[in-house]
Chain A
Amino acid sequence: MAALPHRHTYLPPMSAGSDRRVLTVRLFARYADLLGTDRLEIPAQGISTVRDLLSRIRSLPGGAAIAETALVAVNLTQARADSAVTPEDEVALLPPLAGG
């Protein structure tokens, strides 16, 4: 059996200080209006959970009106505040739902 490549080959930089990756966050409805865009690109450094991400978004101009407990979807599923987020995930910030 062929040896597996060393795992570090596939890992992003380990040091948080050198993480230059970007999280892309889709915005909808009122939240898109508040932030003036339907897609945010946020430096991933220092963000490992949904809670971290929301805190960063709320610090942006227009972001203070977004609820601390706003819904966040990660890979099309509603996530909890302590759910992990990475730049590989599809992340969306969802205003209170109003279908029907």
Chain B
Amino acid sequence: MGFLSLAGLELAELVAAVAGPDRGGIACFIGLVRDHHQGRRVRGIEYRAYEPMAESVCGAVVAEAEAKWPVRVGLRHRLGELVAGDAAVAVVTAGAHRDEAFAACRYVIEEVKRRVPIWKRERFDDGTEEWVDPTRLQPSGDLRLGGNGW
């Protein structure tokens, strides 16, 4: 099964896939579609990917995490049209203890956001739409590094 999915994310399925009698800790991160962005009301988000590369990079990130920590990793990212409140990404990590499960979970979600070629188009309540660009100026005035920083 691939890492990208047009269908809804099934957390129980991901947990079952990584659980085992020798794994006493399971950590989970779920990223949801927020209903606001920079003061604007968001109705939904369309996710698109460069699919062959996204699958390949997701596989690399999972393999890295499983090499760095003694864990099993489950990862799914949705594509297509989502509405506010929908789960867009889920990471599940299972290890003998919580330390490696939490560390690997954090690593996977951060690397997915940094390296996987996925884009989102926000659909606002006022009918306008916009591609999200994390490298653009944020309201705080900080220039968020992204894109080329890896």
Contact = CB atoms under 8 A, between A and B. Distances in A.
Interface in A59-79: 67, 69-71, 73, 76-78
Contact of B115 (A28, A67, A95, A97): A97
A30 B114 CA distance: 18
Interface residues of B, number: 32
Contacts of B118: 97-100
A99 B131 contact: no
Nearest to A98: B132
Interface in B29-73: 31, 47-50, 52-54, 56
Contacts of B119: 28-30, 95, 97-99
Contacts of B112: 99-100
A71 B52 CA distance: 16
A97 B49 CA distance: 10
Instruction: Give chain B's interface secondary structure class.
Output: mixed
B135 interface: yes
Contacts of A67: 147
B24 interface: no
B85 interface: no
Nearest to A33: B131
B134 A98 contact: yes
A92 B114 CA distance: 17
A71 B53 contact: no
A52 to B, nearest CB: 18
Contacts of A28: 48, 50, 117, 119
B146 A97 contact: yes
29 contacts: A28-B50, A28-B117, A29-B119, A29-B121, A29-B131, A30-B119, A30-B131, A33-B131, A67-B147, A73-B50, A76-B56, A77-B53, A78-B150, A92-B53, A94-B50, A96-B134, A96-B146, A96-B147, A97-B115, A97-B117, A97-B146, A98-B120, A98-B131, A98-B132, A98-B133, A99-B77, A99-B120, A100-B77, A100-B88
